[in-house]
Amino acid sequence: MGSHAALAPEFLDSVAGKRVLVRSDLNVPLKDGQITDDGRIRASVPTIQALAAAGARVVVTAHLGRPDGAPDPAYSLAPVAKRLGELLGADVAFATDTVGPSAQAVVAGLADGQVAVVENVRFNAGETSKDDAVRGAFAAELARLADAYVSDGFGVVHRKQASVYDIATILPHAMGSLVATEVDVLKRLTENPARPYVVALGGSKVSDKLGVIDNLLEKADKLIIGGGMLFTFLKAQGYEIGASLLEEDQIPTVLDYLDRAKASGVEILLPTDIVVADSFGDAASARVVPATEIPAGTLGLDIGPESGKAFAAALADAKTVFWNGPMGVFEIAAFAEGTRAVAEALTKVDGLSVVGGGDSAAAVRTLGFSDDQFGHISTGGGASLEYLEGKTLPGITVLEA
């Protein structure tokens, strides 16, 4: 892949007075109808702003949650449209459907430089259909709302969906600045990364990260393992893990990784101490035990303080760091310190530090870190991981066709 300029000047020069459909990633967490983390909305603002400033009539399309191909008020983009308007400092019109009478009327009413959001694209079964013809028909309806298309929802570029893939086969298209930035950062993680290169992986399941470990095992200098997945590594080495998370079927794979790492000189760092509790929850009484002596019946819920220090030390001289997945159950204060230690270490990296979307991005914000303390916070967990696994992302390849 060549380097991608964010919204080429010639594209911006061509959009005045035109309707431009932007696929943003506005899939934010909601609680009781309130947005709890607006990071993705903020990340979508620069592209929308640039198009509006160039005189485009901007039509934003996005999904929220996993409605089952039909309208569901719990997943309405209405609160997102309101927040987008606040961040843009401008009125944002909202259509109560995606391609129906409301969307058509709202788009027809836009003046140059104005912005509208249409309702959740996944309220339409055609968006995620596995049938190319069904998806294509829905993409054609979307295309009637616009004269050009900009792909700026990085969190969905690994999905072959109507508003991500098929639409780009119909309309003149461009890559938005958010997607371009993400792709460039991921290239720096996979093609000649500055060394030492450290990959820190957490999260609950080894199986979610298998492809990444597989692809980066020979590229990284050190691999840090935390989160729920660490217990499968400990079990593979014959240690007692109590009632901690375990993916028994992944033990042979983990043993293979440990052998491969040894053979290729990659250091795999596992925790030496663990924070355990007898039960899961806010009231659980936490205590620290050696990683090799987890008492039967207890749950490992975070890496211990010595491991936090060791992981931070391993990150201290890194020139490139990719981190995906919390070190423990960061939502509960007693089990948040391991994740905090790794996040803190990342803020001091003299080089490229990348926080890989999803739970990791939520964790750093929950723990009080600001986005600008890191080199890059990815907006797409799954998309980042698939790119790092070496997979091709349909929403990117279609833009290059």
- The whole-angstrom separation of Cα 268 and Cα 78 is 46
What is the sign of the dihedral through the CA atoms of 232, 234, 237 and 243?
Answer: negative
Helices marked H in 265-393 — which ranges? 305-316, 337-347, 358-366, 381-388
Does 177 count as an annotated binding residue? no
Residue 63 marked in a binding site = yes
**Nearest C-alpha neighbor of 389 from the set 180, 161, 219:** 219
Is 195 annotated in a binding site? The answer is no
Distance, CA of 93 to CA of 130 (rounded, Å): 31
Q: Is 302 annotated as a binding residue?
A: no
Q: Is 368 annotated as a binding residue?
A: no
Known binding residue 192? Answer is no
Q: Which of 44, 52, 24, 59 is nearest to 144 (CA)?
A: 59
Mapped onto helix, strand or coil, the DSSP state of residue 299 is strand
| Nearest to 163, CA basis, from 122, 199, 202, 131 | 122
Distance CA(215)–CA(199), nearest Å, equals: 11
Q: Does the annotation list 358 as a binding residue?
A: yes
Is 44 marked as binding a ligand?
Answer: no
- Which ranges of 144-249 would DSSP assign to H, the alpha helix? 177-190, 210-216, 230-236
Q: Which two tokens stand for residue 154?
A: 């990085």
Smallest Cα–Cα separation from 229: which of 203, 263, 266? 203
Residue 360 is labelled as binding a ligand: yes
**Is 359 one of the annotated binding-site residues?**
yes
Task: Report d(CA 91, CA 94) in Å as an integer.
Answer: 10
Whether residue 26 is annotated as binding a ligand: the answer is yes
Q: Tell whether residue 66 is among the known ligand binding residues.
A: yes
Long-range contacts from 32-37, C-beta under 8 angstroms, 24+ separation = 33/79, 34/79, 35/79, 35/80, 35/83, 37/361, 37/362, 37/365
Asked whether residue 122 is marked as a ligand-binding residue, the answer is: yes
Secondary structure E strands in 90-129? 92-95, 115-118
Within 13 Å, how many C-alpha atoms sit on residue 200's CB side? 35
* Enzyme catalytic residues: 40, 205, 358, 382
Q: Is 202 part of any known ligand binding site?
A: no
Q: Is 393 annotated as a binding residue?
A: no
**Residues contributing to the annotated binding site:** 25-27, 40, 63-66, 122, 159, 209, 300, 331, 357-360
**Residues contributing to the annotated binding site for substrate:** 25-27, 40, 63-66, 122, 159
**Residues contributing to the annotated binding site for ATP:** 209, 300, 331, 357-360
**Residues contributing to the annotated binding site for (2R)-3-phosphoglycerate:** 40, 122, 159
